Amino acid sequence: MTIKLGVVMDPIPSINFKKDSTLAMLLEAQSRGYQLFHIRQHDIFIDENIPRASMQALTVYNDAGHWYELSPPEDIALEELDVILMRKDPPFDMNYIYTTYMLELAEHRGVLVVNRAQSLRDANEKLFSCYFPECTPPTLVGSQKAQLLDFIATQGDTILKPLDGMGGASIFRVQQNDPNVNVIIETLTQHGSKPIMAQRYLPEIVDGDKRILVIDGEAIPYALARIPAKGETRANLATGGTGVGVELSERDHWICQQVAPVLKEKGLLFVGLDVIGDYLTEINVTSPTCIRELDDTYGLNISAKLFDRIEARLA
């Protein structure tokens, strides 16, 4: 029986062919004979209590000049699919949350959604790390300036970041004597009305912010260490960081072992852990990347491991 796979993603013409992890997944699925369907977030709807989508049959190619072909849209019930990959990039806004509700209804009707819709809502990529205090650096989440200033005074060098950001957006490194610290806090917290995260600055960032991919609780043994550009604190590739492949350290494996049982319990099959030095800083569950970089560096096929686990769930 042909497996029907729908992928909720940003429009496929706009992706970065060289780096896009979703494309790597789709190429693997197609190689296994899956029938693919491209779904944009705003194409999902509910009619007579049945979740549906205006979706397009999709063919993908490992060709930088021609990586996709789309058929005309068809109105199809989501339950006609076997599996849905939820790979829509943030922003994690109310539209994203509404989409997870509709995908959860599809789950109720028998569709496997990766990652599980409820867990996408529950596992904020910044706050989720707070479940593992033994793995994280000193951290404060709050909106009050006095609390944040006290934390900065105690920790010294500090990173401030929004809870809903991605790609290194709006991340600040501050110190107690920074003349801009008050306005940075006021801006990020919207004058005390919005919580943000403060974490002790980790100087090991110069050696890279490691992205560790975890599939159904099992870590890929290599990570992509994202090295900040000269003069830059942020290591994200989107901000000019350089990716370098590294083997997981003993500490990296230990962190993965602490997190894995919770990931499996929550149905989070494909997750990206961010580790700086000895510390877990974020747990990415929405649309983790770095498959193609690691595949190219180490001759891996990470997507194959993911689909082996997906097929085990479908069996």
- Which positions are annotated as active-site residues? 126, 161, 211, 226, 234, 274, 282, 284
As a whole number of angstroms, the distance between CA 62 and CA 301 comes to 14
Number of residues in the chain: 315
For residue 213, give the 3-state DSSP assignment.
strand
What is the C-alpha end-to-end distance of the chain, expressed in Å?
Answer: 11
Facing residues of 247 across strands?
A: 222
Q: DSSP for 168-188, please give it.
A: TTT-EEE-TT-TTHHHHHHHH
Residues of the chain by 3-state class (helix, strand, coil), percent to 5: 35, 30, 35
The CA distance from 236 to 290, in Å, is 11
Q: Where are the alpha helices (DSSP H) in 228-290?
A: 250-265
